[in-house]
Every structure is written in structure tokens, then in C-alpha cells.
Structure 1
Amino acid sequence: MISDSCPKRIKVLHLIKSLGRGGAEKLIPETALVHDQNKFEFHCLYFYHQDQNILDELKAAGIQTHLIPAKNLELFFKIKKVKHFVLEQGFDIIHAHLPWAGILARFVGKELAIPIVYTEHNTWERYNKISYLGNRFTFKHQDVAIAVSNEVALSMRLNSIWDPYRRGGRLKVIVVQNGVNTEVFRRRKTPPRRAGEDWRRKTGDGRWEKEDSGLEYQGLGSGSFESSESDLGIPTLRNQLGIPEGASVIGKVAVFRSQKRLWLWVELAMRILKTFPETHFLLVGDGEWRERILSQVKKSGLEKNFHWVGVQKNVVPYLILMDIYLSTSEFEGLPIAMLEAMSCEVPIVSTRAGGIGEVIQHGKQGFLTEIEEWEELEGYCIQLLQNPELQKSMAQAARDRVIEKFSMKRMVSELERIYTEVIEVGK
């Protein structure tokens, strides 16, 4: 509920192709929970429906969702329909995410006097040819392009050196690095909130604010569980997964696709087990590479040390279970899951992909290798497993780094400034 005395809120339409459980998608509800919803009203329009989606999270965050069914190239036949929808709803800003939605937003924006904000989550070189060309040829027809890392911003600038349209114009490129809600992604001993309870509460003067202690706690599969007296019920989760008490856990949260190179992740795990046979490995997520990765694990004969839990609405309990967050990615923007792990005091061992090198200071919050030198990740994991004190100090440094540089409050503050400025310029 919003106070009657509040001025008219700025209506923001998030435009995105689908609502799967990727990092770009999850940022929409997570930022909305921190936004001042007395000033901003959020909607989300998407086009491709998936079974594993974030619709519940969007609703819990106060975001109204809308579906216009379409796939990839079909989106361009929906320009007129989206234009009418924007006019009917009276939106003040379109904020598009990822190339297909960005291209569509720019076509709509050409016909309407509405500011277009676009967030780029990856370097352009990693997109397929159609996405790349569509992005490039329409890129100047928007007001602000937000890059999630300096490397992504550099990619934007390098790829728009040549442009078939006039150079300059209204476009600004701004770096707004991804953030994490450090009050949600943390280790704590307060009992988590039961599934379905709202994270926001109404104050006496009619405003809404986020409660500090809210955590939805989701267990394995479709089941759920509550915490025990110890920190967030982790012994219960260990028992459910079959991980012995005291065994170290190396984990990863990811969409199972080729850029994550999870076959290398499994290869590293098998090598680490030769030195530390009691270590367990935890994978959270799903995707097109699932069967190949699970088959690789099965063929290794080490299945008892591997745990795949699929997609989880709340990854906090799984992150807290991890002692090391291991990433073998070939490319990234600025991975949200890694920031969430850091906020939960998990040191990082990773390739220097995308914006990861902008976050991790080698030897402080974890260890980095060059992308093609992924085999060195094994030695860094073993070093942390051999040295609990180093692991502990890096864990605390990881959280400190996120609080200082990558908090959701900082990110949302920058987004709200951008929203306000593009509206003022358009008046």
C-alpha cells in the first residue's frame, strides 16, 4: 500500500525476453525490494514463459507482471502491441535487459517520447551474430546504456566505433556494477522466515519498507525446512544432502550452459579429490548442459562426493554450506551468484572472466587465474583446504568487499539517479 499523500510515482517498465533464473532476471525483483516504492512503481513485461521462473519473486517484490507471448524474431512483430501497452499503462521509463529486449525497446522508443534505459550484462563479442548486429545497429536509439562492469563498458565503446547511424546523439554509457542485498545474503543465527511471508512491512505513516530479518528458506526439491538452533539449520541441510559433518564443500551456482565450462569444474573436482578425498562438491542450477555434466560425474565413479540440487528459489542455505566458491567460466558480465557467495562469506577461486577481476583482489578475497590457465584453480583450492585460517580471513574479506563496493543499496541509488535524470532531460 502507498500513502495517499505521496506524489505520483514514476512508472518503470522492465522489459526482458524471459523470466528464467539467470542473474539478469533475478536482479529485477532484488533491486525492487530496495527501491523506494513510494517514488517508483515497477512492472515487468516478458515474452517467453519458462517453467523455472521468478514470477513469485516479482510478485513478492511488488512488481506487476505482463506476458505477450513471442520468441526471438517474433518480438519484432510485437512492436505495435508493446507500443500500445506502454501508452495504455502510462509508463515513464522503459528499462530493457539483454539484447532482444533492448532492440525491441529501441524500436518502441523511436515512436514514443519515452526514455529508454538498457542494461548490458555481457560483452558484445559473446552474442550470436543476429543479437550482435541488432544490438549494434540500434544502440544509439536509447538514452542510457548501463554496463555491469568496466569490461562490458569497454566492449560497448569498441563495438560502436563504426556505426551506420549518426554518431553522438543522446546516448550515455554508464557503469553501474551489480550489487547484492547484504542483509539477505549473510550468515546469521536469527530464524529464517517461513516460505511465502513478505519481506516488506507497512510503517505507521503508510510507507513500505523491507524488514531486516526476512529470509525465505527453501529446501531440496519442492520441500522446505526451518532452521535448527545452529546457524540457519545447516546440519539439517548437510543431512539431507548426505554430506558428513566437518567435510569441506566446494560449490557453484550457475545456469548450466557452455560459457560456465562446468565440464572443467567437474574435472577440477576429480583432481582435488585425489588430494582431499573427503571433500564434497555442490552444484545449484540447471540448464542445457545438465545431462552431460551429470553423466561426467557418474562416469567418474565419485558420485557420492557430488550433489546436484537443481534450481533453488533461495540459494542462501546452499551458499552458507560452501567453504569455497569455484568458477571456471570462459566469459561473464559481473556474476550475481559470485557476489552473493561473497556476501555469505565464501572465498572465491575463479578464472578472471569478465568483471570478476574487477571484484576479486587476488590473494585477498580469493584467487584468480587467466581463463585458459584454469588448471591452476586446483592448486588454489587445495591451498585453501590446507589452510583454514587463510580460508577464514578470505571469507571475511569477501563479505567486506561486497559491503564496501557492491551493495544493493549502492546499485539502487545509482539506478534511481539515472531514472530521475532521464525523465528531467525529457521534459
Structure 2
Amino acid sequence: MHLIKSLGRGGAEKLIPETALVHDQSRFEFHCLYFFHQEQNIVDELESAGIQVHLIPSGNLGLFFQVQKVRKFIQDQKFDLIHAHLPWAGILARFVGRKLSIPIVYTEHNTWDRYNKVSFWGNRLTFKNQDVAVAVSNEVALSMQLNSIWDPYKRGGRLKVRVVQNGVNTETFIRFWKRDEQVALGSISKQREIARLREELGISKDSPVIGKVAVFRSQKRLWLWVDLAVRIVKEHPETHFLLVGDGEWRNRIEEQIAKSGFQANFHLVGVKKEVIPYLNLMDIYLSTSEFEGLPIAMLEAMACEVPVVATRAGGIGEVIQHGKQGFLTEVDEWEKLEGYVIRLIREKELHAEMAFEARKQVIENFSMKRMVSQLEEIYSQVLENAKIK
């Protein structure tokens, strides 16, 4: 059973159906239990992936009053394993598991210093009471270890930390059209869809498109993203900027764009269930994040042959080799991103080389098959250990 607070369109949430589609469903039956219902959710995607979805309505603090209900649900359904995602669900899973002999796997998607105090201490104080903690990047794993120095996370050999980096289904996320080479790679219907999107958005076929897929929250620093975009468009007026997603910062970002006077060059298309056509519109994936775990959207863009220009936030530096799949700067040196974007706009051969290397990196090191194989190994190990006990 996957346990998660809500089913919005964040990276952690989307991994649940994506992995289920690749898992061996003859060996594993998947359910998902969530608590906070949002209008824009991925319930239909989970069900399409063969996952049975359940809802127990609750807010953050209300989760602590759901322990008995969740425990009974697990007993009634006779689940063999809980896989919790993000701190609130992780804390709940550990309380639930105190009176149940059921293995608990927890995936940590971010470094601990980025959580608020309640999440941080709740996570830390209960952290020993699970079997495997999965870190999505080496930096996240290091964060676990550093924050556990005074309260060792390994007790009696039960808890182990494993790094399982996020993955992408490279058979689904592909490039359908290489504009510079005029080469058709996908079906005619997909090519027409991308051409239609360009026409709808008012982007000519020769205009470079700089993009990002994100939840509009402070960690993404989208105000810096827009600031960079304005500087770039002054140098290259034909350039367009595409943001896929939504969130609390949307109104402020729209106001910033309106004040810039370059509204025609910006396209905020909102949350999209199907992001592949929009990734196919992009020529460069630009990220100004202050911190990250290992961003799924960036990996998806790379699988679609989109080079990355980004701050070295979180696991991004574990994926991008500076000068090979894209360019990186330190988090506080974000202004340097402008020069790298302009260089990729101007140097077509370099762009083509990096586009090729971006997809190659995902295929070789960040595929969904690789990720799922590692998860299934963990599931099998904790289930076997549970039988021995």
C-alpha cells in the first residue's frame, strides 16, 4: 500500500502510477491511501495504472487522529507492506506500524533542512521505526545521516538507508520532432499536435522555447526565472518562455510578467495531465531552484532530448555533468544561467550534442526500469525479513 498525504501533480505523487506501470503486477498488487483531496489530482492516472485508490479525508494535524482508522484498514485489507511518501505520511506509517508486524518502506524526496519544524522533528523522532528509508539522491541520503548523528537511525539493524534515484519511462518520454534537423521521430498525430500547440500559443516554428514544469512555490524561485527570461528576450526577441504548472506564486509571477512588457513571449499554460507535447516544444529546460530532491520533470525533459541549464540544487548535480548534458551554476550564482542559455540558443551544434547526451544519460542511469528493479529488490528483502521474524 502506497501511503501519501495528497494526490496533487507533484513529482512524488506522479511516481506512484509511473512505477506501477513498470512493476511486475503479477507479483505485486498496488493500493494507494491518501487523505487530502484536491480538485486537480491524479486519481484517474493511478486507477489507469491498475492501482486501487482509497481516501480517508483529513488535514495535516488531523492525520494523528487517523492512526486507528488506518491501522484497521490495513488489517482488514491484509496488506503485506506499506510504502510511505513524504514526511506526514511517513510519520503516520510509523505510528500505525507500532502495533502491526508489517514492513514499512519510506521514500524521502528532499533534504531534511528544507522541512518546517513540525515535519522535521516528527520525521526525525519517528525515523527509526521503519525498515528501509529510500533516498532519491545521494544528497538526500547524506541529509538523513547528518541529522541522525545525535539520534542514530540504525537500531538493532532494522533500518537501512538505500539510494534509489528517480527514473523516467524512456519509451513514453521521447522527442517527436527535431526542428533544427527537420526530422520526424514520432507519429504523424503527435507531430501535428505539437505544430498545433505552437500555433495556438503563437510561437513560430523557428523560435527557441525555454521551459520548465513545476509547482509554483517558493523553492522554485520562479521570480528569478522570469527575471532571467526578460534579460534573454532583450538579447533574442524571438525567444519564448513556457511554464507548465500552477501554485501559490502564480498571481505574483503573472504580475511580474505584465510589468516586464513582454507578455507575448511568455506562456503559462497551467497544470497539464499530458506534459510530453509541452516538453517537445522546449529547446532548453531552465531551472532556478533553491533546493530540490531529484526533479522528475527535469528527467522527463532530458528523455525528450532537452538540454538543462540549472542551479546545482539537490540531486540536479548528480544528473547533469556541466558542459555535457547542459550547464550548471551554484544556487547563489543564478545570474550566470543567462549566458549559458544564450550560448545554447546561438550554438546549434552544441545544443544538438547536449540534447543527445541528455537522453543518453537518462536511458543509461535514470530509467524507470532501473528504479523499479531496485524498488522490487527492496520490497522482496523486507518481506523476506518479515517472514524470518
Aligned residues of 1:150 and 1:355 also touching (Cα < 8 A): yes
- Inter-partner Cα distance in structure 2 for 1:164 and 1:401: 35
Q: Distance in 1 between matches of 2:53 and 2:2?
A: 9
Q: Secondary structure at the match of 2:270?
A: coil
Give the drift of 1:229: 5.8
Are positions 1:46 and 2:6 aligned together?
no
Please give the alpha-carbon distance, in whole angstroms, between the structure 2 residues aligned to 1:254 and 1:55: 19
Aligned to 1:233: 193
Distance 1:232 1:134, change over 3 A: farther
Residue 34 of structure 1 aligns with an amino acid whose one-letter code is V
Q: After the TM superposition, which residues 379-398 of structure 1 pair with which residues of structure 2 at under 5 Å, given as runs?
A: 379-398=339-358
Corresponding residue of 1:204: none
Deviation at 1:231, TM superposition (A): 2.8
Q: How does 1:77-116 map to 2 (within 5 A)?
A: 77-116=65-104
Change in Cα spacing, 1:315 to 1:166, as seen in structure 2 (3 Å) is closer
Alpha-carbon contact 1:118-1:142 (below 8 Å) kept:
yes
State how far apart, in whole Å, the 2-side matches of 1:53 and 1:230 are.
25
- Checking the alignment, whether the CA contact within 8 Å between 1:140 and 1:169 is kept in structure 2 is no
Task: Tell me, yes or no, if structure 1 residue 285 matches structure 2 residue 245.
Answer: yes
Report Cα offsets for 1:18-68 as digits up to 9, x if no partner. 000000000000000000111110000000000010011001100000000
- Give the 3 Å change call, closer, same or farther, for CA 164–408 of structure 1 in structure 2: closer
Q: Percent of pairs identical after alignment?
A: 74
Amino acid at match of 1:100: W
Residue 265 of structure 2 aligns with which residue?
305
Aligned equivalent of 1:147: 135
Q: Distance in 1 between matches of 2:153 and 2:109?
A: 23
Partner residue, 1:206: none
TM-score when scaled to structure 1?
Answer: 0.87
Instruction: From 169, 173, 197, give the equivalent of 2:161.
Output: 173
Does structure 1 conserve the Cα–Cα contact (< 8 Å) formed by 2:166 and 2:294?
yes
Q: Residue 157 of structure 1: which of 138, 145, 153 is its match?
A: 145
* Bigger proportion of residues as helix: 2
Q: 2:275 aligns with which of 315, 319, 338?
A: 315
1:169, distance to aligned residue in structure 2 (A): 3.8
8 Å CA contact 2:309, 2:341 repeated in 1? yes
CA distance in 2, matches of 1:410, 1:370: 29
How much does 1:242 deviate? 1.0
Deviations 1:170-197 (A, max 9, x none): 00000000000000000247xxxxxxxx
Matched, 1:373 2:325: no
The reply to whether residue 416 of structure 1 matches residue 360 of structure 2 is no
Q: Deviations over 1:109-160 (max 9, x none)?
A: 1110000000000000000000000000000000000000000000000001
Distance 2:16 2:245 in 1: 19
Q: Which residue of 1 aligns with 2:215?
A: 255
Kindly state the Cα deviation for residue 318 of structure 1 after the two structures are TM-superposed.
Answer: 0.3
Q: Structure 2 counterpart of 1:345, which letter?
A: E
Specify whether residues 330 and 165 from structure 1 end up closer, same or farther in structure 2 by C-alpha distance, changes over 3 A only: closer
1:27 aligns with 2:12: no
Q: 1:340 aligns with which of 293, 300, 308?
A: 300
- Deviation of the 1:165 alpha carbon: 8.4
How far did residue 233 of structure 1 move?
Answer: 2.8
**Which amino acid is the alignment partner of residue 360 of structure 1?**
I
Which amino acid is 1:255 matched to? Answer: V
TM-score by length of 2: 0.95
Corresponding residue of 2:181: none
Residue 137 of structure 1 contacts residue 164 of structure 1 at CA under 8 Å; is this kept in 2?
no
CA gap 1:118/1:312 in 2 versus in 1, 3 angstroms: same
| Structure 1 residues 230 and 409: CA distance shift in structure 2, 3 A | closer
Give 1:132's match in structure 2, choosing from 113, 120, 132.
120
> Could you give the per-residue CA deviations for residues 48-93 of structure 1, whole angstroms, max 9, x where no partner exists?
0000100110011000000001111110100000000000001000
Q: Which amino acid aligns with 2:326?
A: G
Among 46, 50, 58, the residue aligned to 1:58: 46
CA distance in 2, matches of 1:260, 1:26: 18
Q: What letter corresponds to residue 388 of structure 1 in structure 2?
A: K
RMSD, aligned α-carbons? 1.4
- Structure 1 segments, 4+ long, off by >6 Å, are none
